[in-house]
A and B are shown apart, each in its own frame.
Chain A
Amino acid sequence: MKVYYDRDNATFDVRSKTVKDMLKEINVFRNAVIVVVNNEVVTEEYEFQDNDTVKILSVVSGG
């Protein structure tokens, strides 16, 4: 499955089945992002479904 991470403006291929495992897989702090699936914010327990559109949004803004 492909996921987009806005802070790196990059798309990753991941194999994880849940949000929690995905963040571990791509080495992103869970407190530093929110995860949006099909335009809905989800928790780390969310289990991915086929055809999900997944975006990881950094919580860092400004400087």
Chain B
Amino acid sequence: MCQNCQKHPVTTLTSGRPLCKNCFLKYFEKKVRKTIRVYKLIGKTDSLVIALSGGKDSLTVLDLLSNIYTHSPSVSLTAVAIDEGIDGYRDKTLEYARDFCHKRQIPLEVVSYKEAFGFKLDNVVKGRRACSVCGVLRRSLLNRKARELGANKLVTGHNLDDEAQTILMNQFRRNVETSARLGPITGVDTHKGFVRRIKPLYFMSEKEVMTYAYLKGLTREFNECPYNRGSYRNQVRDLLNTFEEKFPGTKYSIVNSFLEVLPLLKQKEKNRFRINACSRCNEPCSQTVCQKCMVLEEIKST
């Protein structure tokens, strides 16, 4: 029974605490508000763009923020969805995202790879790691669109599992520079062309987000990107879930111990790198040519 009110429990927290629907929803919202407050994710006059995929994470963060800031007219919210061109997947989630925003009167902008880069993802993934190509292009497009809309923060639905996976993936690949950009608020350095990303769901596990989204009626039907299953991330997800089953709290430990060394990592990288402008597209990057331009060049060369 729920530890607080003795009603039927819907979940058991990692600590072993069972909670009913109402107590879980309160717990979830309180924890997200605490993350926003402790890490100073959102200021009183921020202009926010929310990256909306139509999945449970982005729908949850958009729903939460629109409720939290409904009486704060000085904080503005706009949703941006990216249409990568994935047949049978993105068209469905975009339809849901449009409907979701329309009902809540949240402005939504949709940007497509086709219009921005001249191709659909489906047409360029053969022989390539789809998630690597897509991730670079999506991040670049989101940053550009958020900047064009005048936003000073880009909100993503990244959760605890996403972060723990990325930390491990960077460790496995010895990718210190990328690790330094992680955390509840991303980036090492500031640059006028770079909109910093914030992650209000940073301390919520993927299971907690799904439970919240289901209980609030935010999810509709199962949607997984068709390119996800064979991905490197998916294998790390399985690895982490294996450990979490045997040693509950593993994901929290990975993220919390990472946060202790993150300030040192950021300082180290700040001394090594400056954000420059890409010599080809003028977008912010840490090298001479940005990753998006390198990916596009590789695609065009074949």
Contacts and interface: CB of A to CB of B under 8 A. Distances in A.
Interface string A1-37: 0000011010000000000000000000111111010
B244 interface: yes
Interface string B1-29: 00000001111100000100100000000
B224 A59 contact: no
Residue in B224, B227, B238 with the greatest tally of chain A CB atoms within 10 Å: B224
B166 to A, nearest CB: 14
Interface in B46-67: 53, 55-58
B223 interface: yes
A61 interface: yes
A61 B224 contact: yes
A62 B90 CA distance: 9
A34 B207 contact: yes
Given A32-B241, A41-B211, A62 B10 contact: no
A34 B210 contact: yes
Contacts, number: 84
Query: Which of A29, A30, A61: most chain B Cβ within 10 A?
Result: A61
A30 B56 contact: no
Interface of B: 8-12, 18, 21, 53, 55-58, 131, 134, 205-207, 209-211, 214-215, 219, 221-228, 231, 237-238, 241-242, 244-245
Contacts of A6: 221-222
B133 to A, nearest CB: 12
B57 A57 contact: no
Contacts of A47: none
Contacts of A41: 10-11, 21, 211, 214-215
A34 B208 CA distance: 9
Nearest to A24: B245
A29 B242 contact: yes
B11 to A, nearest CB: 6
Contacts of A62: 53, 55, 57-58, 223-225, 228
Contact of B205 (A9, A31, A58): A31
A45 B10 CA distance: 10
B160 to A, nearest CB: 11
